[in-house]
A and B are shown apart, each in its own frame.
Chain A
Amino acid sequence: GQSLEQPSEVTAVEGAIVQINCTYQTSGFYGLSWYQQHDGGAPTFLSYNALDGLEETGRFSSFLSRSDSYGYLLLQELQMKDSASYFCAVSPGVDTGGFKTIFGAGTRLFVKA
């Protein structure tokens, strides 16, 4: 089967750094994506890792280790507006010419003043 595991909740204070981990087990693997979703909003793409290593985009970075089936999202200089749900998502591969994305259950991040 296919599964992704991430913590259900994380709490941190403004200005801090927080890391949200994601481990996955899939029959195939093309890459690991991260999405942010505020309550009542739509998911918004944050980053994508196809290869091992760290990708940095402003305050957000994402890391992937294919050998460990593991990745994380690092949020620096936390702001109140970062309070949201964060989903890791895996592309297990192309299936009958299409493309499947499987989302983890999501991590709710609470940023406190």
Chain B
Amino acid sequence: DTEVTQTPKHLVMGMTNKKSLKCEQHMGHRAMYWYKQKAKKPPELMFVYSYEKLSINESVPSRFSPECPNSSLLNLHLHALQPEDSALYLCASSHLGQGGENEQFFGPGTRLTVL
């Protein structure tokens, strides 16, 4: 299985809602990533998990809360978002070490709209 899956594909939420994005991979990757991508822009790194521990937080506002329950799953909990948070949220995974981090496998993304 060489696939990263993400649910939901689309999400519309109000500024007072709480929702979660989910990501799953079964490639045995021990690094998992959350990226945010705006239209016609590159992916921007948000969080990195290495061996299920948060290793990088790119100064992301606390209204985004990541969670890695096990080596296959990655969640992003959303609360009190702003309209400018509307974007495509991409999950990725990779091996760790020996350059494995340079080949990341991306999921199809969740297109989030905040009203």
Residues of A within 8 A of B (CB): 30-31, 33, 41-45, 48, 50, 87, 89, 91, 95-106
Q: Assess whether B109 is interfacial by the CB under 8 Å rule.
A: yes
A77 to chain B, nearest CB (A): 24
Name the A residues within 8 Å of B102 (CB-CB). Answer: 30-31, 33, 48, 50, 89, 91, 101
Contact status of A50 and B104, CB under 8 A, knowing A42-B109, A96-B56:
no
Name the B residues within 8 Å of A102 (CB-CB). Answer: 45
B42 to chain A, nearest CB (A): 4
B78 to chain A, nearest CB (A): 20
Q: Give 1 or 0 for each of B75-104: 1 = CB within 8 Å of chain A CB.
A: 000000000000000101010100101111
How far apart sit A41 and B108, CA to CA, in the bound complex (Å)? 6
The answer to whether A43 and B103 have CB atoms under 8 Å apart is: no
Name the A residues within 8 Å of B56 (CB-CB). Answer: 95-96, 98-100
A91 to chain B, nearest CB (A): 5
Name the A residues within 8 Å of B101 (CB-CB). Answer: 91, 99, 101
A2 to chain B, nearest CB (A): 11
What are the nearest 10 A-B pairs in CB distance? A98-B55, A103-B42, A98-B56, A42-B106, A99-B101, A98-B48, A48-B102, A97-B55, A43-B106, A33-B102
A21 to chain B, nearest CB (A): 16
Name the B residues within 8 Å of A101 (CB-CB). Answer: 33, 45, 101-102, 104
Q: Assess whether B8 is interfacial by the CB under 8 Å rule.
A: no
Q: Give 1 or 0 for each of B15-52: 1 = CB within 8 Å of chain A CB.
A: 00000000000000001010000001111110010100
How far apart sit A96 and B53, CA to CA, in the bound complex (Å)? 11
How far apart sit A104 and B42, CA to CA, in the bound complex (Å)? 7
Nearest A residue to B47 by beta-carbon distance?
Answer: A98
Nearest B residue to A42 by beta-carbon distance?
Answer: B106
The answer to whether B90 and A43 have CB atoms under 8 Å apart is: yes
From A87, A97, A98, B42 is in contact (CB under 8 Å) with A87
The answer to whether A48 and B103 have CB atoms under 8 Å apart is: yes
Nearest A residue to B42 by beta-carbon distance?
Answer: A103
